[in-house]
Structure 1
Amino acid sequence: LLLSLRKNLLLTGGMDQIIRVWNPHLPGKPTGLLRGHTAPVIYIHLSSEDNRIFSMSMDNTVKIWDLETYSCLFTASSKASGIKGEFAACLYLPSPGALCVATDRVALLHLRMRSAPDPHLALSHQEPVVCCGYNSTFRHVVSCSEASVVKVWDFETGKQLSEFMGTHGNAGITCLTFDSSGRRLVTGGRDGCLKIWSYNNGHCLHTLKHDGKLKYGNVKFCYRPRCIIAVGWDRRINVYFDVPCDFHHFWKPQPHWQDDLNHGHKEDILCVAQCPPFLLATCSYDGEIIVWNVISGHVYCKLNTPSPSDGLNHREGPEPSVSRLAFLKTRAAKLDSMAASLIANGPGGTVRAPGWAVPPFPRQEKAQVSSIAVTAGDALAYLADQQGFVHVCDIKEYGLQGPELQPPKNVTFWRAHVSTVTCLELIEEENILLSSSLDRTVRLWSKTGAYIGTFGQSSPWDIFTPASWSHPRVPYEILTDPGSMPADSGLEGDAPAGCTVGSQEQDPGIEETPAEVGAGTSSSPGFPL
């Protein structure tokens, strides 16, 4: 319960997970409903200066709302913010602009509101872009934002073709994939639903609901067998078979694999990767990677499995979570080989097992790898980080005989975005790289880093005519961002032409930075594969 005399508003929240906005003089009916929490609301604060509402629920999820539109601007889950344990108290501190949250420890959640965008900047979405994908059948790019908005773009020109909103109601989209024909789009959301779309017209064909509460972390379409694989916070692998002549099989997931129930992940699953014809890899919040036989549902092997003692020291060191995986498919097919067959991010360093070594990669002081893409022949690995940089590493001969002591050669690098890169996809037939970011942009690049353009810019490009590309210009915000300025150490070596060097000090978007009171702020690990 919160009463603001300045705004003449009364805010209430409770067990029904809804925040209601009231006029104190008209108590009969609320003037607004804020829906989005998935647990009882236990804290509300109104910042009159910013017209923002801050709320927290019993699952330690923090949300920021716009008081004028009643829309959710930002969500910080307990996993993302690092707030753990049973909730005790919460207090908003206006001077530093932070939420002080007390559970079994005290944490500060620093919040910086994004400034209004410059009118001349090209934006693909009005909200952070959480995922994107290329549809080779129709040569479209599909992107999804935190506000549950889906946009369809023409790959060859960059023009917007269609848009549909509210795909998962008030819940954000977390992942997307296409079916084998490319005619259907599958999206997963924080509402625990998978939705199948005829994305050309925005018509929802099916809604796949899970029996319990589930927030999806990733979704893939497997071609053999034809099925949708969805993973998330239920720690299980959910399989929906795709039978073209019968859509009713989609209503409920198939029974869980026995190995999944008995020997599966003990923490939330963050990512899934596929290597045809039968290999599937999943990674979880505790750093464990499991390789599965997708045909039989049996565990093939486990990597980086944490010991029971790891949980006791979990809060002392960096988070062990692995959130990105990529198969080296030409090597994974040779099951008896000692060559590295997987690439994973995370602060755990080298992950290795017989035939499944995951090589170490270059580290930076502050940036952690946020997305990975590998060329078809496993010759190059594209690694994007939380500062918006893309590094290209030569892995053709790397890790063939097992673990390496040195990282692979860095072929080139450039800064693609001013915030975390959420998705990288290589479009091999055109030698093009697709990227999306929390900075609200989706962009195309050549495989060597030449800037083609930003989806949503005023002037179209012709993908077949390099003269129409934006190169050698770079995006304006990258050119002017302090994080793109050359560092002193950069003078010691030669940087590739057209590349910007440096480290980003601030994220221009709404950001959460948990710090344990009295412990200081530790830099996040970077490129720890």
Structure 2
Amino acid sequence: MDKKKVPETSFMDSRSEYADTENTAKMFTAKYIPEIAKLFHKAGENKGGRLNIEEFCEVMKDINGALDENVLTALHMMVDTNCKNTISLGELMDFQLKTNQLSESLNFKDKLFPQGMKIIPSNHHRAIIGMVFRPFEGQTNREQDNEENVRMYQKGQYISVSSDGLLTFWTNVFEKQLTIPLSNQENTGLYSKVKKIHVNDMVYIKELRQVAICTTERELTFYHCSEDIEQFAISYSLVVETNIVSAINYCSTGTKGVFSYGDIKGFLYVFISNNIQANGLFCRQAYEKIALKKYPTVYVSSLLKNPSKDFLCVKVSIFNEECTLIRFFPSLDMFAVCGRSSKAMVLSDFPKTSGRVSPNRIFTVAGNQEAFSCVECSPMVGQLVTGGVDGLLRVWFPHKNISCEDTLKGHVRPITHILYNQNDSVFISLSEDMNVRVWSEHSWLCVQSFRAHGMEHSRISSVCYNTCNNELVLANTDIGKCLGRGTDVFKNTITSHDKPLCSALYNSTFKQVVSVCQNGVVSVWDISTGRILMQFHATPEQRVGITAMSFDEAKRRLITASDDGKVRLWNFNNATELAVLPVNVPKDVTGIVCMNNRIFISSRNSNIIFDLDIEKNYHRFLTHDYLKDIISMDASGTLLITASSNGNIVAWNADTGEDLYWCNGTMSPQIQMAARIDHRQSVAKRRGRHRIPSCKQPTDWTDMKTWVKKSPLIICLKTREENMNTATLLTFSSGYINAWSVNSKGGIIAKFRAVPEKGSTITTMSTDASESLLLTGDNTGRICLWNIKEFGFKKQEDTGPFVDIDGWHVSLCPPPLLHSWRAHQSWVVSVTCDPTCKNIITAGLDCTVQLWTREGYCIGRFGRDEWEATQACPEMTAVQEEVEIVHTAEGKTFESPPSSPAPAPSPLPSKVPDFTDLYKMIDKLYFPKGDALLADLRKMRRKLPKWIKDINDAIKVLNRSDLALEDTIYWVPGGV
């Protein structure tokens, strides 16, 4: 879609007056608890310590007069969900505590890998030993959006090799391109007698576009790799005359290439090329041509005996066991080597000459523990991190091998891999318990932990961390890919929910968007920032299925009906379950309407309307022979209107349970009088006469598509006066929107074609608060905004066009189509707006909830983007479709006013001052927390010996015998 700039004036006139309600609750109930407690008891000493809104505002303003009264009112309403009109200090504290606990777990910005792991079947019978990423030439991800710190995804190839020698090329999205058996590449080896091979390790040499593979044969083979995978072939081989190679490593320091390998006897071989791009990895004069091979070979003994100024080859004795891991750290200019027993790690100096070099340091742990199965280096802080069989991570200084600096706990099984991401300053550790943990480099705190779900069948044998794209790839016989934050591709994959949406609502009281998906996950979003405020499961069992929801009349409580048959009431601001009604309703609820403290619930597979009493639990049912099922339901005043898939629409008196009218546009354009029969039955009577419909299996995405195709859909126009000349009901069926006068003498007043294409169908409708604008969403993802202020009124001056249906005149003049745009990739399940329709909220089966201006410009996607009221969203992707022609019922066409041009961007006014950023800055400067606090303490601890030494030196220079260390300790920088 084309990108358009959002006109800033069309977003919000001012920041939401309730935007800082949660911040107020957190800050003042935590900081001023003693004062609040005293004033609470003083103000409510004659009322049991309970305060109404006015008294609560006075108490809070006595503490801080700068608090906005609207914010305090909203806070009082959040705590007083059951509309008791008073709250106690205990209720306020409980609300604040639970809100803090739940909101802290929703800080997705701190999670490097917020999405789950995708499993790719590899069809390998043996474990994948090596996995490398080869970026394409000319591709770079250095370009990034400085405001969002998003870089371009770097395309390339993944190359994997299994232990039995099957090498596979994958695209960057892990589509298999080619599998090559290495045994067929004439790579039988100098000492090999059979073609069966066993691969031990693999590395990628990016400067030469080569893959180096070591096997149980005494030969290291280097293969040429390019974007043309058909050119994959052996370039040369390194013949090892002594022992079998067990581990290899390659690292580049600019122009210098450092290749190394370790063998089963504990020797380390280092090969250095000072200009690898120009001269290659080994000296060209050392290559030999063997008659039995089509590629050149070079012997290790020859390289050791004949060094040159551009090349260096060194053999180092490490220990008397097999080398299992080799890492070269350019920042330390050292090699770290781990052995099979994991009881020691050797740190060796960078070899400067071709002679033998003795190991520099041997790291061990008291008790001869197996603490060195893997190692990685932190170049920023100059420390080593090792992982052990005991499941502990240990932090070491390279020059201090007697004891570790810190011990990091979290894993319960042996640690197999440690990886480092310099872009995000984090370490990633993987254990045999399939637990992946992300550690902060500065504080050594675990900032994220998740399991490699789907790969539990065998031990992880290979790990590739593509730090260019922050993509973690795990492998055993299958491959698991986890794309992390940082790239444009990841940003585009972020959705608001993990499953398709069921519904989205807007709460004008708290200025919040509430959405629910087929996983039953309810999310609460701040419309002024796009940030998530709360998230909880509507069903304790976390069942998958359709979840319907609605607000109560006061918009304080959320009502949900899930596929477990339970109807629940929630305080959605802190995820407190307020009540569970003792009635089981069918699955696939199609409508929830709250009137006069009663809840009406309908479902698509039943003609029963559940009439539930919230307070007294006196529940009843409504049924009608004209209703095959109930697809849509709405209410206006005491009038409850239900629509069935057979086209029949029935209007009820919600108080008495009598059916008043019924209509069917395909049968007659007029309202039909119904027999005045009370169809309401009590729960006991219903259970005695009929069996309540049984629940079917949970509805999946495909079933929901079938469901939303059904019609008619209905919506009541509640602000209009009911009479025979005024339409108070809009219905959609067969591509047309009909405007009905729901009156004994009423009928269809007007109709128009509401979808441009055959086969398209409207799936959701809503209006603004004044009901002058109609919003529709269809199965193609399109949103339409219609001006219905003058639509649906029978007037004498109407000149047509008209259509005569059985002697009933119906206007065919369509309302003006103001704007139309594609909002989702598929079905729109909800479209709603704020009271003035300046901001439109849409939800779709593509798992996203999005915020738009009324002109069709995208402000952002909830869960992916964040925005402020004073600035436009960083990414605008809406397409404005100017629909010029609207079809009528007779097939004629009439011009509709085109979309109005977008206004020029201008700064948004802010009527309500926002000091959130200032509070955060002060808090950060004077009250460091979390990682920052621990980092400061560690720095102080390291500097403390130097400060004490400087103080003692100063005392000696001054020769002040009366001045002791205790007298000077107070001015140590940073305090002690």
Give TM-score, length-normalised by structure 1.
Answer: 0.59
- Aligned twin of 1:521: none
Pair 1:429–1:396, CA change in 2 (3 A): closer
Amino acid at match of 1:329: K
8 A contact 2:764–2:829 mirrored in 1: yes
2:523 to 147, 151, 156: 151
Instruction: Measure the CA separation in 2 of the matches of 1:161 and 1:376.
Output: 25
Name the SS of the counterpart of 1:195 in structure 2.
Answer: strand
Could you tell me which residue of structure 2 aligns to residue 409 of structure 1? Answer: 816
Q: Tell me if 1:195 matches 2:560.
A: no
Unmatched 5+ stretches in structure 2 = 1-122, 126-174, 176-452, 456-483, 668-706, 795-808, 887-894, 903-976
2:751 aligned to which of 359, 372, 381:
359
Q: Deviations over 1:151-188 (max 9, x none)?
A: 11112211111211362631324321112333321111
SS in 1 for 2:627: coil
CA RMSD across the alignment: 3.8
**1 CA distance for matches of 2:538 and 2:584?**
22
**How much has 1:129 moved relative to structure 2?**
1.4
Alignment of 1:208-219 (within 5 A): 208=581, 210-211=583-584, 213-219=586-592
In 2: Cα distance, 1:184 partner to 1:379 partner: 27
Q: Structure 1 residues 389, 320: CA separation in 2 closer, same or farther (over 3 Å shift)?
A: closer
Instruction: Please give the secondary structure, in 2, of the residue aligned with 1:256.
Output: strand
Displacement of 1:361: 3.2
- Percent of residue pairs identical: 26
Residue of structure 2 in register with 1:293 after alignment:
653
Whether the 8 Å CA contact 2:752–2:813 is kept in 1: the answer is yes
Distance verdict in 2 for CA 1:415–1:306, change over 3 Å? closer
Tell me the secondary structure at the aligned position of residue 491 of structure 2. Answer: coil
Q: State the shift of 1:494 in Å.
A: 8.9
Instruction: Find the counterpart in structure 1 of residue 773 from structure 2.
Output: 380
Query: Which residue of 1 is the match for residue 558 of structure 2?
Result: 185
Specify the SS of the correspondent of 2:547: strand
Does structure 2 retain, via aligned residues, the 8 Å contact 1:461–1:469? yes
Secondary structure at the residue paired with 2:789?
coil
Conserved 8 A contact 1:372-1:384: yes
Partner of 1:513: none
CA pair 441-296 structure 1, distance change in 2 beyond 3 A: same
Aligned to 1:274: 635
Q: Deviations over 1:271-309 (max 9, x none)?
A: 21121x2112111222221122212221221111777xx
Q: Structure 2: how far apart are the matches of 1:423 and 1:378?
A: 17
- Ranges in structure 1 where 5+ consecutive residues have no aligned partner: 1-5, 9-48, 50-66, 70-115, 244-248, 308-317, 500-529
User: Displacement, 1:429?
Assistant: 4.7
Q: Please give the secondary structure, in 1, of the residue aligned with 2:847.
A: coil
Determine the structure 1 residue equivalent to 2:619. 254
The CA deviation at 1:470 is 2.5
Question: For 2:885 and 2:625, how far apart are their aligned partners in 1?
Answer: 47
Secondary structure, aligned partner of 1:200: coil
Residues 1:226 and 2:597 aligned together: yes
The residue type equivalent to 1:304 in the other structure is N
The alpha-carbon deviation at position 444 of structure 1 amounts to: 1.7
Amino acid at match of 1:355: G
Q: Which residue of 2 aligns with 1:161?
A: 533
Cα contact 1:195–1:208 (8 A) shared by 2: yes
Do structure 1's residue 303 and structure 2's residue 677 form an aligned pair? no
Q: Which letter maps to 1:130?
A: C
Aligned partners of 1:387, 1:368: CA distance in 2, in Å? 8
Q: Distance in 2 between matches of 1:204 and 1:180?
A: 18
- Which residue of structure 1 lines up, in the alignment, with residue 899 of structure 2? 496
Given candidates 709, 713, 716, the residue that maps to 1:324 is: 713
Please say which structure displays the higher CA radius of gyration: 2
Q: Deviations over 1:383-413 (max 9, x none)?
A: 1111121112222222312621243221221
What is the aligned counterpart of 1:469 among 872, 877, 883?
Answer: 872
- Distance change (3 Å), C-alpha of 1:418 and 1:405: same
Asked which structure has the greater RCO (Cα within 8 Å, sep 6+), the reply is 1
Aligned-partner residue type, residue 446 of structure 1? T
Is 1:204 aligned to residue 204 of structure 2? no
CA contact (8 A) 2:546 2:562 kept: yes
Task: Confirm or deny: 8 A CA contact 1:445 1:453 kept in the other structure.
Answer: yes
Give, in whole Å, the separation in 2 of the partners of 1:450 and 1:288. Answer: 38
Equivalent runs, 1:116-127 vs 2, <5 Å: 118-121=489-492, 122-127=494-499
Please list, as runs of the form range in 1=range in 2, the aligned pairs for 1:374-523 lying within 5 A after superposition: 374-401=767-794, 403-429=810-836, 431-462=838-869, 465=870, 468-470=871-873, 474-475=876-877, 496=899
Q: Deviations over 1:34-74 (max 9, x none)?
A: xxxxxxxxxxxxxxx9xxxxxxxxxxxxxxxxx949xxxxx
CA deviations 1:459-505 (Å, max 9, x no partner) are: 3322xx3xx1238x533xx66xxxx9999999x99963689xxxxxx
Instruction: Indicate how the Cα distance of structure 1 residues 239 and 486 shifts in structure 2: closer, same or farther if over 3 A, else same.
Output: closer
Q: How many pairs does the alignment contain? A: 356
How far, CA to CA, are the matches of 2:559 and 2:664 in structure 1? 31
Contact persistence 1:319–1:347 (CA under 8 A): no
From 242, 247, 259, the counterpart of 2:614: 242
Q: Deviations over 1:96-135 (max 9, x none)?
A: xxxxxxxxxxxxxxxxxxxx99412242112211101122
Residue pair 1:453, 1:461 contacting (<8 A) in 2 also: no
SS at match of 1:456: coil
Q: In the alignment, which residue of structure 2 is the partner of 1:344?
A: 731
Quick check: 1:345–1:370 contact (8 Å CA) kept in 2? no
2:644 paired with 1:284:
yes
Q: Could you say which residue in structure 1 is the equivalent of 2:268?
A: none
